Amino acid sequence: MVSYHLRHEGREVEIDGCLACRGLFLDSRKARTLAEITAAVHDEMAMPGAGKGPLGVMAMYLLQVTTLMPSKVHAPLKRKTVLVPIAIALMTVVFAFEMLLAVSDQVDAFLRSVAFVPRDFARGENLLSVATYSLLHGGVAHLLGNMYTLYVFGENIEDILGGARAALVYWASAIAGGLLYFVLNAKSSAPLVGASGAIAGLMGAYLVLLPRVKLWLVIFFVPVKIRVYWYMGIWFLLQFVIMADPKSRVAWEAHVGGFIAGASLAFLLRKRETPEMPPSLRRPAIRPAHR
């Protein structure tokens, strides 16, 4: 007999094998763990889009080459998400409404009332815009990029925290991003639009809740897998690069504010597992005396 030890991402199973008959001895628990490890390794080795065949792989590769967007390697959901598709549908409808207003030259008035303008906010005007700005987008590429990032990171956050707490993280991050933008640009009259601050909050929450999940990323045309914490570190450093560029129109302040808020809330809202006490330290049960 020989024993094989398999370990993967916190799972571990010991399998007994017979060298003579080359058979394996498994009970139901070991068989289930082995199946989970095998499925996880298979999913991690599969290229993004592999479920759609060669054309799916090529499409995902081209998407990542042109946009530098990441793709999850293996982060299965335990329940069906609701908030992410609703958010994507809502922001798509709002963007379509923006396009309709643009045709009739009424979009500027709409943006002034819904987008976040620091100078107006300082005067006490349009106070709700510190949250509603996250429903707007400045173009098709802006919308699609945010919706894809929301899909990549949002589903797992909703799965882990639940709908109510995930919504709290999302909107609190949007508001925090808007407020940091206001603090650093209080006299600006340029409207802030986009869900980037809220989505950055989901990214921060992802870092706290799932730091070891891997992401596919195409770097110099080569697909590589990196841990989430490495990707988030690169993304955060990129915000300082954007900050140093005086010609950049990217609101890095909203990104940073949202990221910090999301990470902080996820740390506070995460479910804490109570470690099981070893038998030697457990207090013996008190039994009633029989008379």
* pLDDT, one tens digit for every residue, the chain (291 residues): 667 666 766 677 777 777 777 677 677 777 777 777 677 666 666 666 666 778 877 887 787 777 778 887 667 778 888 999 999 999 999 999 988 888 877 777 888 888 999 999 999 988 999 999 999 998 899 999 999 999 989 999 999 999 899 999 999 999 999 999 999 999 998 889 999 999 999 999 999 999 888 888 888 888 888 899 999 998 989 998 898 888 888 889 999 999 999 999 999 998 765 444 444 444 444 445 554
* Number of domains making up the chain: 1
- Nearest CA to 200 out of 224, 219, 172, 227 is that of 172
Residue 232: what pLDDT? 92
Residue 173: what pLDDT? 97
Domain assignment present for residue 39? The answer is no
Q: How far is CA 184 from CA 87, 123, 179, 250, in A?
A: 28, 16, 9, 14
| CATH code of the domain covering residue 152 | 1.20.1540.10
How many residues comprise the chain?
A: 291
**Burial class for 238, CB neighbours closer than 10 Å (0-12, 13-18, 19+):** middle
Domain assignment present for residue 246? The answer is yes
CB 159: neighbour CB atoms within 10 A?
A: 20
Residue 276: what pLDDT? 44
Residue with tokens 């070891």: 212
Domain assignment present for residue 18? The answer is no
The domain of 228 spans 68-269
Cβ-Cβ contacts under 8 Å for 162 (sequence gap 6 or more): none
Domain assignment present for residue 89? The answer is yes
**Burial class for 106, CB neighbours closer than 10 Å (0-12, 13-18, 19+):** exposed
Domain assignment present for residue 173? The answer is yes
CB 275: neighbour CB atoms within 10 A?
A: 6
Residue 270: what pLDDT? 82
Domain assignment present for residue 161? The answer is yes
Domain assignment present for residue 143? The answer is yes
Domain assignment present for residue 107? The answer is yes
- Nearest CA to 174 out of 131, 143, 205, 135 is that of 131
Query: Edge to edge, what strands does the sheet with 222-227 contain?
Result: 71-72, 214-219, 222-227
